[in-house]
Chain A
Amino acid sequence: MTVADETTAQAEIGRPRRRKEDARLITGRTKWTDNLQLAGMLHIACVRSPFAHATITAIDVEEAKQAPNVVAVLTGQDVKDIQGSLPNAWPIVADQKAPPHPAIAVDRVAFAGEVVAVVIARTPRAARDAAELVDVDYDELPAVLDLKKAAADEVIAHPDLGTNISAHFELHSHEIGTGGNVEDAIRDAEVVFEREYRQQRLIPAFMEPRSVVVDPTGEQFVMWSSTQVPHILRLMLALTLGVPESKLRIIAPDVGGGFGGKLQVTPEEVITFLAARHTGRPVKWTETRSESLLAAHHGRDQWQRLTLAAKKDGTMLGLKVELLADMGAYLGLVTSGVPILGANMFNAIYKIPSYTFICDNVFTNKTWTDAYRGAGRPEATFAIERLVSDFAAHIGMDPMEVRKKNWIAHEEFPYATVSGLEYDSGNYEAATARAEEMFGYAALREEQRRRREAGEKVLLGIGISTFTEACGLAPSRALGEANYGAGGWEHASIRMLPTGKIEVVTGSSAHGQGHETAWSQLVADKLGVPFEDVEVLHGDTQIAPRGMDTYGSRSLVVGGSAVLKAAQKVIEKAKPLAAHLLEANVDDIEFDKGQFTVKGTDTGVGIGDLALATFAAHNLPDMMEPSLDAEATFDPINLSFPHGTHLALVEVDTETGKVALTKYVAVDDIGNAVNPLIAEGQVHGGLVQGISQALWEEAVYDDEGTLVTGSFVDYTLPTAADTISFETDRTVTPATTNEMGAKGVGEAGTIASTPAIVNAVVDAVRHLGIDDIRMPLTPERVWKAIQSAGQEQQAATPATQQPHFGDAPNQDTPETDAAVSGAEVGGPDSMSPDTTPGDGAER
């Protein structure tokens, strides 16, 4: 029952290898954390706050403790001196404010879903039953839910902080010496174009619910966790709990997706650890989907105000970005840094002479936010790509022409951007030309015009996204300058076994990305061995002792580079041995395709034979250690910058508001692809996540602070029936900062597709007087935008006289859903939770 072997005659890099990982995944032999059963294992159920903000006045656990099969019940009072505070690794400014972040709330809860007590019992069902018996008394406190209201500090999420502003961050090109002063550009510009966009709150919604098992019974605490970051988790648990790091072993077995959602140190990991230590027995916690949606971190959630200074001919002169970013109730691992990851990306592919980025990180009484696929960069890309299209319409230019007028030309690389990055390579012209050709851009524009003129009810819209992003987090020095609490290197080691087989140990921690396959391809080519002879080990701090794990499209460009660096060390180590055995001078030894040969001769020895020779160690050069094994740590010198041109075609039914995506072309430049099959799969999945933000997904709270989209009934992930087959292709400009020339692909699709879709829908109805519709673009919202635009055109009501609906939260209103042409979206006081539960249900 093994998957079919493929021959190894051709080069591995660039080859669409079928994945090694699949063998266990397609037969149900996968090791998910929740599969683990250990002798005597206990199970946890969490009691969670139903209130967004409240004081805990009493907790009665007696009845729960008496329930059958219950072993212990823990409250915040029980663990307050030992649970520490969950870590935030990214204080973006020196005076960043944050409340203590307990795993179990002690005397106050700050969002609905926060853990207040934990029941530990013999079975999951006994734990859950007994959790119902825990009696908690709360005194409700005023909760702040709306981001703009929170920024105005009317109600304070954490009264002790005295403000909801966690951090205020500014970046000005004239201060860092990369450009002019944007205020000068705005003052002098022929055109000043302002827009405000909303990045709704999303939920990562990985398919495997989180699960943690802790076994305290050996020399160490062994924790299995469904995490993207076993190494970071180990360090952070040690720091949080005061346990020696050497006494913690973290294992990330097979992990069922992450998308940033498992880039966290969670309350439940700490709780499971404490429960295991308290009971002295192995303990498991596995969340339900509802718990996951409620309490695993959310993503996005920003208000974005952009001001563009430009000439009438479309030339951009300055860009000013002002963000409000919703932290939710606490700062998780990188919560505070997520908006800052976008700070250098709003200028995107454009040559803009002056730039300012200002961000306020704001607390509210909702689930905390943190990384979600793209983290900061999708937000930035959405705003700039929407802005450019809206601006083009404003000055009467074709949206592609405005892009072409302002983008960095291929001969201008490497290019120092106004926000302080150096783009090493790219060719926007090539990707765009290929996308236009595949799409049939000109013909579709013609069909769009025809339908409009014929007065048809189903209109066409074309959406463009010419995106770039920054991958390969990150040069450690740059992270230090950004106050991030760790480096950005990656580690790998290579073990040469006596039989010639090779074990590759990587600090990257895959959860669907196919590292076992891709890393095998890298090593097979580099060391000239068969793909099948390479085994990749990862995801266990005892096996892979050093690592920075998997997120931010970093694994290949950083982790893959570490693997290649270690392999190069193996070659260098083997050369003196080859020289010794071949009785030649080491300077005359050449290595190619697994063979060490003496220059100009055909005598040689294979790398496998040398591995065996070091095992026997009977005949080594003097002083040589009997091993070819090597390890390496790679610290990138720069980020990498994938880019691409995506074109979307939608049909908008003006009578029902229904949007149908009918064609999507994605041409990506991700540099060289090690495995094009895996790369394309990443693009497909990424596209659907981005499209889903545009059309379907939103985490919605009611005005009490209860998550309305708390199950898959209401948090509507797309199905196979909602999506289409995409047309993808690649253009290639290799990255210059790593040996492979790879740029990273994990997030590109998600980053690119959201603005492409919204631009397409707006393009279909812009002539009706609509220039924005809030995501997700549900039929109801699109329909209302069309209706209100119609009324708008008849009545021509000035924007200032439009009624505000700020006092009617949780209602769809034309004013908050659609920025009708000429009307600014209402100010802070008109903002309310801005959607209706179940919006997506009718798709």
Chain B
Amino acid sequence: MTTIRVTVDGSTYEDEVEPRMLLVHYLREQLGKVGTVIGCDTSNCGACTVHVDGRSVKSCNMLAVQADGHEVTTIEGLATDGQLHPMQTAFHENHALQCGYCTPGMIMQACDVLRENPNPTEEQIRVGLEGNLCRCTGYQNIVKAVQQAAGALAGQQGGEQA
């Protein structure tokens, strides 16, 4: 067992974890952060995507001990002050989700795409989301949502995001 100290969605937690425990299992099972989900066992699907120190990470691809001393944001911490993040709003408005299972990871990754490139082309959005699988939507409305969020974030001066 190893002791870790991790900030998740603004609260700091201290826990004993097995060295082999994945970050996603730590989030789901130990912290009850079940908004982040698991879709595969080969790091292909991106359903588990969170932000670690502001950058997107597949949380099934990282050990909990590696998060020691870092700041994790999950889908549950994306909205601030009761206000949805513009990416969440854009997913809703553009019908960019059906079953919603890919959605937490997709939204977190989409935020990262815009962090790296606030004004992407459709092609750049599609490539940026390549690590996240969705079986329901056919991606078209997800791409639209990211385009809308890009506009909204640009409107919010310089695209500052969670």
Contacting pair B95 A719 (CB below 8 A): no
Asked if A257 lies at the interface with its beta carbon under 8 angstroms from chain B, I say yes
- Among B18, B47, B99, chain A packs the most CB atoms within 10 A around the CB of B99
Chain-A contact segment, one of B51-59, B76-84, B153-161 = B76-84
Asked if A623 lies at the interface with its beta carbon under 8 angstroms from chain B, I say no
Contacting pair B76 A26 (CB below 8 A): no
Residue interface mask A680-715, B partner, CB < 8 A = 1: 111011111100000000000000000000011100
A688-B139, A719-B132, A723-B139 given; A256·B99 CB < 8 A: yes
Which residues 264-290 in A have Cβ within 8 Å of B in the complex?
288-290
Contacting pair A512 B99 (CB below 8 A): yes
Cα-based distance from A726 to B84 in the complex (angstroms)? 29
A27 to chain B, nearest CB (A): 6
Asked if A206 lies at the interface with its beta carbon under 8 angstroms from chain B, I say yes
Contacting pair A713 B95 (CB below 8 A): no
Contacting pair A288 B41 (CB below 8 A): yes
A208-B99, A513-B98 given; A27·B45 CB < 8 A: no
Contacting pair A21 B100 (CB below 8 A): yes
B107 to chain A, nearest CB (A): 7
Cα-based distance from A22 to B18 in the complex (angstroms)? 35
Contacting pair B84 A26 (CB below 8 A): yes
Contacting pair B99 A720 (CB below 8 A): no
Residue interface mask B76-115, A partner, CB < 8 A = 1: 1011001110001101110101111111100100000000
Contacting pair A254 B100 (CB below 8 A): yes
Cα-based distance from A677 to B94 in the complex (angstroms)? 9
Contacting pair A28 B138 (CB below 8 A): no
By a CB distance below 8 angstroms, the chain B residues around A290 are 41-42
Contacting pair B135 A717 (CB below 8 A): yes
Q: Of B91, B129, B132, which one neighbours A22 at CB under 8 angstroms?
A: B91
Contacting pair A726 B140 (CB below 8 A): yes
Q: Of A254, A512, A685, A712, which one neighbours B40 at CB under 8 angstroms?
A: A712
Contacting pair B98 A685 (CB below 8 A): yes
A26-B92, A206-B135 given; A713·B37 CB < 8 A: no
Cα-based distance from A289 to B60 in the complex (angstroms)? 13
B95 to chain A, nearest CB (A): 5
Asked if A205 lies at the interface with its beta carbon under 8 angstroms from chain B, I say yes
Contacting pair B125 A720 (CB below 8 A): yes
Asked if B23 lies at the interface with its beta carbon under 8 angstroms from chain A, I say no
Cα-based distance from A719 to B45 in the complex (angstroms)? 9
By a CB distance below 8 angstroms, the chain A residues around B47 are 207
Contacting pair A22 B82 (CB below 8 A): no
Contacting pair B93 A18 (CB below 8 A): yes
- Among A206, A209, A256, chain B packs the most CB atoms within 10 A around the CB of A256
A685-B135, A685-B136, A721-B129 given; A289·B100 CB < 8 A: no
Contacting pair A512 B100 (CB below 8 A): yes
Cα-based distance from A388 to B78 in the complex (angstroms)? 52
By a CB distance below 8 angstroms, the chain A residues around B92 are 3, 18-19, 22-23, 26
- Among B37, B84, B95, B138, chain A packs the most CB atoms within 10 A around the CB of B138
Asked if A32 lies at the interface with its beta carbon under 8 angstroms from chain B, I say yes
Residue interface mask A1-41, B partner, CB < 8 A = 1: 10110000000000000110111111111101011010000
Contacting pair B79 A289 (CB below 8 A): no
Contacting pair B98 A512 (CB below 8 A): yes
Contacting pair B99 A26 (CB below 8 A): no
Contacting pair A208 B37 (CB below 8 A): yes
Asked if B133 lies at the interface with its beta carbon under 8 angstroms from chain A, I say yes
By a CB distance below 8 angstroms, the chain B residues around A254 are 99-100
Residue interface mask B24-53, A partner, CB < 8 A = 1: 000010001111111111101101000000
Contacting pair B42 A713 (CB below 8 A): yes
Asked if A418 lies at the interface with its beta carbon under 8 angstroms from chain B, I say no
By a CB distance below 8 angstroms, the chain B residues around A711 are 40-42, 44
* B: number of interface residues (CB 8 Å): 58
Asked if A725 lies at the interface with its beta carbon under 8 angstroms from chain B, I say yes
By a CB distance below 8 angstroms, the chain B residues around A37 are 32
Contacting pair B99 A22 (CB below 8 A): no
Contacting pair A1 B79 (CB below 8 A): yes
B22 to chain A, nearest CB (A): 10
Closest to A678 in B: B95
Asked if B7 lies at the interface with its beta carbon under 8 angstroms from chain A, I say no
A466 to chain B, nearest CB (A): 21
Contacting pair A257 B122 (CB below 8 A): no
Asked if A333 lies at the interface with its beta carbon under 8 angstroms from chain B, I say no
Closest to A226 in B: B101
A27-B88, A289-B45 given; A677·B140 CB < 8 A: no
By a CB distance below 8 angstroms, the chain A residues around B67 are none
Contacting pair B101 A256 (CB below 8 A): yes
Cα-based distance from A720 to B143 in the complex (angstroms)? 8
Cα-based distance from A205 to B142 in the complex (angstroms)? 19
A18-B93, A688-B139 given; A719·B129 CB < 8 A: yes
Contacting pair B141 A681 (CB below 8 A): yes
A interface SS class: loop
- Among B18, B37, B130, B132, chain A packs the most CB atoms within 10 A around the CB of B37
By a CB distance below 8 angstroms, the chain B residues around A205 are 135
Closest to B32 in A: A37
Contacting pair B126 A257 (CB below 8 A): no
Q: Of A28, A32, A256, A682, which one neighbours B74 at CB under 8 angstroms?
A: A28
A1-B84, A26-B91, A685-B98 given; A721·B138 CB < 8 A: no
A256-B100, A681-B137, A688-B138 given; A720·B45 CB < 8 A: no
Q: Of A21, A28, A677, A684, which one neighbours B36 at CB under 8 angstroms?
A: A28
Cα-based distance from A256 to B102 in the complex (angstroms)? 8
Q: Of A22, A29, A34, A686, which one neighbours B97 at CB under 8 angstroms?
A: A22
Contacting pair B138 A713 (CB below 8 A): no
A821 to chain B, nearest CB (A): 34
- Among A4, A23, A511, A719, chain B packs the most CB atoms within 10 A around the CB of A719
Asked if A498 lies at the interface with its beta carbon under 8 angstroms from chain B, I say no
Asked if A514 lies at the interface with its beta carbon under 8 angstroms from chain B, I say yes
Asked if A259 lies at the interface with its beta carbon under 8 angstroms from chain B, I say yes
A1-B79, A32-B101, A512-B100 given; A719·B133 CB < 8 A: yes
Cα-based distance from A257 to B76 in the complex (angstroms)? 21
Contacting pair A512 B136 (CB below 8 A): yes
Closest to A716 in B: B44
B156 to chain A, nearest CB (A): 17
Cα-based distance from A30 to B99 in the complex (angstroms)? 10
Contacting pair A717 B133 (CB below 8 A): yes
Closest to B133 in A: A717
Asked if B1 lies at the interface with its beta carbon under 8 angstroms from chain A, I say no
By a CB distance below 8 angstroms, the chain A residues around B37 are 32, 34, 208, 256
Cα-based distance from A207 to B134 in the complex (angstroms)? 7
Asked if A255 lies at the interface with its beta carbon under 8 angstroms from chain B, I say yes
Contacting pair A27 B35 (CB below 8 A): yes
By a CB distance below 8 angstroms, the chain A residues around B100 are 21-22, 24-26, 30, 254, 256, 512
Cα-based distance from A30 to B100 in the complex (angstroms)? 8
Contacting pair B138 A726 (CB below 8 A): yes
Asked if B64 lies at the interface with its beta carbon under 8 angstroms from chain A, I say no
A25-B97, A25-B100, A712-B133 given; A720·B79 CB < 8 A: no
Contacting pair A208 B36 (CB below 8 A): no
By a CB distance below 8 angstroms, the chain A residues around B141 are 681, 684
By a CB distance below 8 angstroms, the chain B residues around A257 are 98-99, 101, 135-136
Residue interface mask B117-131, A partner, CB < 8 A = 1: 000001001110111
Cα-based distance from A22 to B104 in the complex (angstroms)? 11
Contacting pair B95 A207 (CB below 8 A): no
A678-B95, A684-B141 given; A289·B135 CB < 8 A: no
Q: Can you list 6 A-B pairs with a CB-CB distance of less than 8 A?
A: A22-B100, A26-B84, A254-B100, A680-B95, A684-B137, A689-B138
Q: A18-B92, A207-B45, A719-B129 are in contact. List 7 more A-B contacts (CB 8 A).
A: A1-B79, A22-B97, A27-B75, A29-B35, A208-B101, A678-B95, A720-B142
User: 4 tightest A-B contacts by CB?
Assistant: A28-B35, A256-B101, A25-B100, A512-B99
Interface residue ranges, B against A (CB under 8 Å): 18, 28, 32-42, 44-45, 47, 74-76, 78-79, 82-84, 88-89, 91-93, 95, 97-104, 107, 122, 125-127, 129-143
